[in-house]
């Protein structure tokens, strides 16, 4: 599929986004568009503010300038209650799962439903069991979050995120620190749930292979800007050395192996100020 | 020059925190209605903030009363005024030691636990998670804890005072042989309902407000790392203790200063 075919129905659009923390500039004019019904991956080296970007899209952080439009609504112009209404249609999967630790798995998945609807208990139970079945953890309903492995916690969090049938889900580093089996389970789940429920998924990750295997569209960000974007096939043939280094995981290239320092020889001879 | 700049920075920083704390408090009060709709949340917090603090409060109250009776008896006996032991114990506890010691113990027992719990919920992204589920963490998590603390402390203070006076009775009357009738009747005659009891209750309400506010704000404002949470917990206990003692002086001056 070509870029224009994918990008003709946009759910989230970020325009000229600037954001800084203290004196450190994190985003310096980011533009991106998230197509509806697809899986879009935002990739980049650690510390480039990928998680911050999700928090800006979720309205948890306010940008210094620029606009974020979600399903036609400009986040900057929404009131607090408007933002909360919009969030009912968004799910977010945190790296840690962010499950509430004082209630069990069943109650965690039931939580958003109880908060926002008045479903009778029997219907609520069926709904929660269906969501848990979808992530393969119906049998774990009575466990406490502390008894779950990292991968299971993320699957419960996924069940919770889809409990209210949202229009989109944001995944923050869903594959980090997973063993190969849970990694495979998560990759498969994200793809299947996105397609089955007609969701729009945004994955923030630096696990290149897994992410590329399910993503329909990629954005690569570095140093506060979008470096390159396109379908996985297009980026696979990218001419940019930087993109090649990132996607192929090469140790040296445009991003040097060494942190900037004075020359090795000078350093060893102790010519640096204050040492000699 | 650098020192002046640092002084200015820390001044601005403190003011900014005070401002954030005040806005935070406003939002907690905004969550009052959502608690009325779901009293279950508040009751759960009463248990962990109030009921679980009972033991330490009751044991301390008993010992404080017993010590007061021992010390007071020796002093009063020199003037042949042992019968006034009941008044001495009751006034010291109801006016001062009850509200102050209960609040200090409460800050150590419940305040630190609140800060640590809320700080850890922040560090493990549970608060962000709630926000993203369109649930306001201030209404759902903070407000029930704040109101539970605000209401628990005066009740705990009342229990501390009651058991303290009983501890005084055990030592003064049962052990040292002060006349029981004199112990109780002098207390009844000399302890004024409004001037002593109500003023003590007012103190405990002020302390409950300040200690719980400090505890929930420090937790919510903690830097979300293990070090940040531990510092927030420490700050809760230190700031609460200083606030209690300073406010106690001011309140005492206002309530009893014009005698």
Give the ipTM of the model, two decimals please: 0.81
- pLDDT higher than threshold 60 for residue A45: yes
Burial of B44 (0-12, 13-18, 19+ CB in 10 A): middle
Judge: A98–B131 Cβ closer than 8 Å, yes or no.
no
Q: What is the rounded CA–CA span in Å between residue A230 and residue A218? A: 5
* Residue A60 at interface with chain B, using a CB cutoff of 8 Å: yes
Most B CBs within 10 A among A61, A89, A92, hence the mutation to make, goes to A92
Give residues 83 to 142 of B whose Cβ lies within 8 Å of A.
Answer: 121, 124-126, 128-129, 131-136, 140
Judge: B129–A92 Cβ closer than 8 Å, yes or no.
yes
Q: What is the rounded CA–CA span in Å between residue A133 and residue A136? A: 5
* Residue A242 at interface with chain B, using a CB cutoff of 8 Å: no
For residues A255 and A247, the model is more confident at A247
Least confident interval from A121-125, A263-267, B114-118: A263-267
Judge: B126–A85 Cβ closer than 8 Å, yes or no.
no
Model confidence at A149, pLDDT cuts 50, 70, 90, reads confident
Judge: A60–B125 Cβ closer than 8 Å, yes or no.
no
pLDDT, average across residues A234-262: 80
pLDDT of res. A247: 82
Quick count: other Cβ atoms within 10 Å of Cβ A223? 14
Most A CBs within 10 A among B34, B133, B224, hence the mutation to make, goes to B133
pLDDT of res. A4: 63
Question: Which chain B residues are Cβ-neighbours of A95 within 8 angstroms?
Answer: 125
Residue A202's DSSP bridge partners are: A40, A170
Residue of B nearest to A59 (CA): B132
Judge: A91–B129 Cβ closer than 8 Å, yes or no.
no
* Residue B195 at interface with chain A, using a CB cutoff of 8 Å: no
Burial of B130 (0-12, 13-18, 19+ CB in 10 A): buried
Size of interface A-B (CB pairs under 8 A): 48
Give residues 157 to 186 of A whose Cβ lies within 8 Å of B.
Answer: 157, 160
Min Cα–Cα distance to chain A from B37, Å: 12
Judge: A99–B126 Cβ closer than 8 Å, yes or no.
yes
Asked if A226 and A232 touch (Cβ cutoff 8 Å), the reply is no
Three-state SS string over chain B comes to CHHHHHHHHHHHHHHHHHHHHHHHHHHHHHCHHHHHHCHHHHHHHHHHHHHHHHHHHHHHHHHHHHHHHHHHHHHHHHCCCHHHHHHHHHHHHHHHHHHHHHHHHHHHHHHHHHHHHHHHHHHCCHHHHHHHCCCCHHHHHHHHHHHHHHHHHHHHHHHHHHHHHHHHHHHHHHHCCCCHHHHHHHHHHHCCHHHHHHHHHHHHHHHHHHHHHHHHHHHHCCCCCHHHHHHHHHHHHHHHHHHHHHHHHHHHHHHHCCC
Q: What is the percent of chain A where pLDDT is above 90?
A: 21
- pLDDT higher than threshold 50 for residue A73: yes
Judge: B136–A100 Cβ closer than 8 Å, yes or no.
no
Asked if A240 and A217 touch (Cβ cutoff 8 Å), the reply is no
- pLDDT higher than threshold 70 for residue A158: yes
Q: What is the rounded CA–CA span in Å between residue A129 and residue A141? A: 8
Give residues 71 to 130 of A whose Cβ lies within 8 Å of B.
Answer: 84-85, 87-88, 90-92, 94-96, 98-101, 111-112, 115-116
pLDDT of res. A273: 57
Question: Which chain B residues are Cβ-neighbours of A94 within 8 angstroms?
Answer: 125, 128-129
pLDDT, average across residues A107-115: 91
Model confidence at A276, pLDDT cuts 50, 70, 90, reads very low
- pLDDT higher than threshold 50 for residue A143: yes
Low-confidence ranges of chain B (pLDDT < 50): none
pLDDT of res. A124: 92
What does the radius of gyration of chain A's CA atoms come to, in whole angstroms? 21
Judge: A112–B133 Cβ closer than 8 Å, yes or no.
yes
DSSP secondary structure string, A214-252?
A: H-SEEEEEETTEEEEEE-HHHHHT---HHHHHHHHT-SS
């Amino acid at each position: 599929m070509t870029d224009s075919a994918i990008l003709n129905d946009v759910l989230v659009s970020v325009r000229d986004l600037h954001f800084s923390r203290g004196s450190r500039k994190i985003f310096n004019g980011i533009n991106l568009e998230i197509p509806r019904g697809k899986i879009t991956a935002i990739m980049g080296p650690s510390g480039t503010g990928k998680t911050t970007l999700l928090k800006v899209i979720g309205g948890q952080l306010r940008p210094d300038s620029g606009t974020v439009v979600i399903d036609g609504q400009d986040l900057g112009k929404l009131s607090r209650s408007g933002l909360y209404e919009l969030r009912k249609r968004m799910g977010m999967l945190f790296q840690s799962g962010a499950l509430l630790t004082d209630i069990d798995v069943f109650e965690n998945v039931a939580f958003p439903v109880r908060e926002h609807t008045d479903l009778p208990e029997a219907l609520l139970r069926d709904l929660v069991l269906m969501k848990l079945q979808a992530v393969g953890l119906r049998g774990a309903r009575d466990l406490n979050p502390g008894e779950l492995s990292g991968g299971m916690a993320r699957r419960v969090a996924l069940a919770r995120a889809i409990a209210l049938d949202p229009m989109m889900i944001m995944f923050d580093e869903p594959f980090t620190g997973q063993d190969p089996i849970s990694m495979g389970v998560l990759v498969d789940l994200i793809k299947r749930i996105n397609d089955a429920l007609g969701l729009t998924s945004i994955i923030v990750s630096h696990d290149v292979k897994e992410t590329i295997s399910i993503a329909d569209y990629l954005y690569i960000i570095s140093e506060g800007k979008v470096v390159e974007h396109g379908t996985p096939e297009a980026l696979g043939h990218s001419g940019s050395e930087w993109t090649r280094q990132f996607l192929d995981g090469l140790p040296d290239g445009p991003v040097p192996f060494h942190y900037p320092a004075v020359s090795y020889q000078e350093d060893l001879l102790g010519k640096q100020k204050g040492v000699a | 020059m650098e020192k002046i700049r640092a002084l200015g920075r820390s001044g601005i920083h403190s003011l900014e925190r005070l401002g954030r704390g005040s806005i935070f408090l406003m939002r907690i009060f905004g969550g009052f209605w959502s608690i009325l709709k779901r009293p279950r949340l508040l009751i759960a917090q009463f248990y962990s903030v109030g009921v679980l603090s009972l033991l330490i409060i009751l044991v301390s109250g008993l010992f404080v009363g017993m010590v007061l009776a021992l010390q007071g008896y020796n002093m009063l006996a020199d003037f042949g005024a042992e019968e006034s032991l009941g008044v001495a114990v009751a006034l010291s506890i109801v006016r001062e030691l009850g509200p102050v010691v209960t609040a200090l113990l409460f800050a150590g027992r419940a305040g630190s636990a609140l800060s640590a719990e809320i700080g850890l919920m922040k560090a493990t992204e549970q608060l962000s998670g709630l926000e993203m589920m369109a649930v306001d963490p201030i209404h759902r998590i903070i407000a029930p804890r704040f109101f539970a603390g605000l209401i628990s402390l005066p009740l705990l203070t009342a229990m501390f005072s009651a058991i303290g006076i009983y501890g005084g009775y055990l030592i003064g009357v049962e052990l040292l042989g002060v006349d029981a009738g004199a112990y109780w009747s002098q207390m009844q005659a000399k302890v004024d309902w409004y001037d002593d009891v109500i003023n003590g209750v007012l103190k405990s309400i002020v302390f409950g407000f300040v200690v719980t506010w400090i505890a929930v704000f420090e937790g919510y404002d903690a830097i979300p790392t293990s070090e940040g949470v531990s510092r927030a917990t420490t700050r809760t206990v230190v700031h609460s203790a200083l606030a209690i003692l300073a406010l106690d002086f001011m309140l005492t001056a206002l309530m009893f200063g014009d005698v």
